[in-house]
Amino acid sequence: MTGIASGKELAEEIKADVRKRVGELVGGPPCLCVVLVGEDPASLVYVRGKGRAARACGIESRELRLPASVREPELLRVIDDLNRDPGVHGILVQLPLPDHLDPARVALALDPEKDVDGLHPVNLGRLVLGTPGPLLPCTPAGIIELLHAYDVPVEGQHVVIIGRGVTNGR
């Protein structure tokens, strides 16, 4: 393949497929809950986009906003409540977090089965071993989907990934 691969058409196809499959689920649509701590402008835009995309696919989208001053025990209690809520199927804690919060402790508090970004150590281990759990980190999964759609061979290739994210850099 030469040139630039556009993912717009593929994204629309995937959304249509997801919307169809969500509509066929018994018991109603799944629910994604995004936890946003603080008022980081880029995070606000990103979270709004996630909610819009989820709703476009027929997925319920909830957003919990906490002040930047929230103390870690309170944030961990909120995550624990979401872990135990049977009406919440996926949890995403928007990064970056304010400096006084430990992202590793927050990731560890997530139920690995509800960890949408794949940041819990169990899910990171699965990713490194090549045996991902039920939820895949969206950016790496999207890249692989795009490469497959354009029939780009990846086995034996050298790849450069520019980024510092926990899952994207792996």
CATH code, domain carrying 95: 3.40.50.10860
The single residue listed with the structure tokens 């939820």 is 135
The catalytically annotated residue of 111, 117, 151, 157 is 117
> Measured in whole angstroms, how far is the alpha carbon of residue 10 from the centre of its chain?
19
15: annotated active-site residue: no
Q: Provide mean pLDDT across the span 82-93.
A: 97
- Annotated catalytic residue: which of 17, 80, 94, 157? 94
- Per cent of the chain over pLDDT 70 is 93
* Beta strand spans in the chain (E): 31-37, 60-66, 90-93
Local confidence band at 165 (pLDDT 50, 70, 90 cut-offs): low
Whether residue 50 lies in the annotated active site: yes
Catalytic residue among 8, 15, 40, 50: 50
Residue span of the structural domain in which 119 resides: 28-135
**Backbone φ/ψ region at 20: left (φ over 0), alpha (ψ -120 to 50), beta:** alpha
Residue 118 lies in a domain: yes
Instruction: With respect to residue 38, please indicate whether it lies within any of the assigned structural domains.
Output: yes
Tell me the percentage of the chain whose pLDDT exceeds 90.
59
**154 in any annotated domain:** no
The number of folded domains in the chain is 1
On whether the CB atoms of residues 107 and 75 are closer than 8 A, the answer is no
Q: State yes or no: pLDDT of 88 exceeds 80.
A: yes
Residue 31 has a pLDDT of: 97
Mean pLDDT for 112-135 is 84
Give the per-residue pLDDT at 168. 60
Active site annotation includes 94: yes
